[in-house]
Amino acid sequence: MSDTGAARLNELWKRGTEFLGSEYAILGGAMTWVSERNLVSAISNAGGFGVIACGGMDTDLLAKEIAATRELTDKPFGVNLITLHPDLDNLIAVCREQNVSHVVLAGGLPSGGAISAIKDFGAKLMCFAPTATLAKKLVRSGSDAIVIEGNEAGGHIGPVSTSVLAQEILPVVQNVPVFVAGGIGRGEVIASYLEMGASGVQLGTRFVVAEECVAHENFKKAFISAKARDAVASVQIDEKFPVIPVRALKNEGTEQFMVTQREIVSKFHSGEIAQDDGQMQIEHYWGGALRRAVVDGDVQTGSVMAGQSVGMAKRVEPTQNIINELVEQAQNHLG
């Protein structure tokens, strides 16, 4: 580790660390069933910035999770809320009551009301932006920072790669911090995005194999044995039946999903089922599948959501080790 590299890294992500209040501008990606009190606090305690994945939590569960995380860390952390959650307004109210410092809105374009409600209690607001135009619009609407996530990421993904999004958005969105996400597994690429103008990065997949992560042992083993090419996006086989792309490890579940789609499309064209009924069956196929994989350890039929950086998740180790390695790699690259 060179002193020059360390100084350069601190300089490059200073805007990000000041915004987050953390030692390193490394956000933990919010992963449902994974990013809870243990992993979130471990990331923050290691110098990064943990983010609770609210996912489908109700208000009571979110309040308890925030309080429990505070018992495990005195460092800053954030809460990720899904904009399409039916109880979003009350979840925002929980964040206000709990004096949450940073709120991340994901899963769609947030309403002006949601943005105002978050800003009104003094929280810093972060939003995901899939295009430069939308990033600018969100900043005008009050977002204090932007996250750009490429389709190399795990879970629900957009159509554009991280490197292209970075080239399109970083040069034109400079008045707020921008954090880059998707496919990041080593410190050298963190340094490269910082040099391009990013204020920090977000990683999810690398942290799944952290010791503090509560994911089932089978889930972690699946990550450790996987290669980048094993993390595939779900495929839509008929334009009449849209499928929201999700990146996950290929398994029996992903194979059966293709069979199910073909059967439904065939039944629709033969007049056996209505289009609405077919769409409902397709959308319900993965219901509970992520929980089955993460919590129950069913990595055969469950949804093992993982980004293409999964090939760099080599072993189970403490969160602190993961972050130390990323920082050292970035410093060496810059020094």
Q: What is the pLDDT of residues 261-280, one digit of tens each?
A: 999 999 999 999 999 999 99
Q: What is the mean pLDDT of residues 145-155?
A: 97
Cβ atoms 137, 172 nearer than 8 A: no
- CATH number attached to the domain at 3-215+313-334: 3.20.20.70
How far is residue 111 CA from its own chain's centroid?
20
What is the sign of the dihedral through the CA atoms of 220, 225, 229 and 234?
negative
How far is residue 135 CA from its own chain's centroid?
17
SS3 314: coil
Q: What is the mean pLDDT of residues 126-136?
A: 96
Q: Looking at the chain, which residues constitute the CATH 3.20.20.70 domain(s)?
A: 3-215+313-334
In the DSSP assignment, the letter for residue 316 is -
Share of the chain above pLDDT 90, in %: 97
265 to each of 75, 280, 289, 322, how far by Cα in Å? 51, 12, 22, 45
Q: What is the mean pLDDT of residues 42-59?
A: 97
Length of the chain, please?
335
Residue entry with tokens 């987050």: 20
User: In the predicted model, is pLDDT for residue 1 greater than 70?
Assistant: no
Residues 6 or more apart whose CB falls under 8 angstroms from that of 322 comprise 46, 206, 207, 210
Amino acid at site 180:
V
User: In the numeric block, which tokens belong to residue 271?
Assistant: 């007049």
Average pLDDT, the chain: 96
User: In the predicted model, is pLDDT for residue 221 greater than 90?
Assistant: yes
Which of 299, 328, 308 is closest to 155 using CA atoms? Answer: 308
pLDDT digit string (tens) for 160-218? 999 999 999 999 999 999 999 999 999 999 999 999 999 999 999 999 999 999 999 99
H-state helical runs in 197-306:
205-208, 217-225, 252-269, 275-284, 289-294
> What is the biggest distance separating any 2 CA atoms in the chain, rounded to whole angstroms?
70
Q: Say what the pLDDT of residue 25 is.
A: 98
Residues 6 or more apart whose CB falls under 8 angstroms from that of 200 comprise 13, 16, 17, 19, 20, 24, 25, 26, 27, 177, 179, 180, 194
Q: Say what the pLDDT of residue 2 is.
A: 72
Residue 244 pLDDT class (50, 70, 90 cuts): confident
In the DSSP assignment, the letter for residue 74 is S
Residues 146, 164: Cα–Cα separation, whole Å: 16
Residues 10, 13: Cα–Cα separation, whole Å: 6
Residue 287 pLDDT class (50, 70, 90 cuts): confident
Q: Give the DSSP per-residue string, 4-47.
A: HHHHHHHHHTHHHHHHHTSSS-EEEP--TTTSSHHHHHHHHHTT
Q: Say what the pLDDT of residue 58 is.
A: 97
pLDDT digit string (tens) for 298-326? 999 999 999 999 999 999 999 999 999 99
In the DSSP assignment, the letter for residue 151 is T
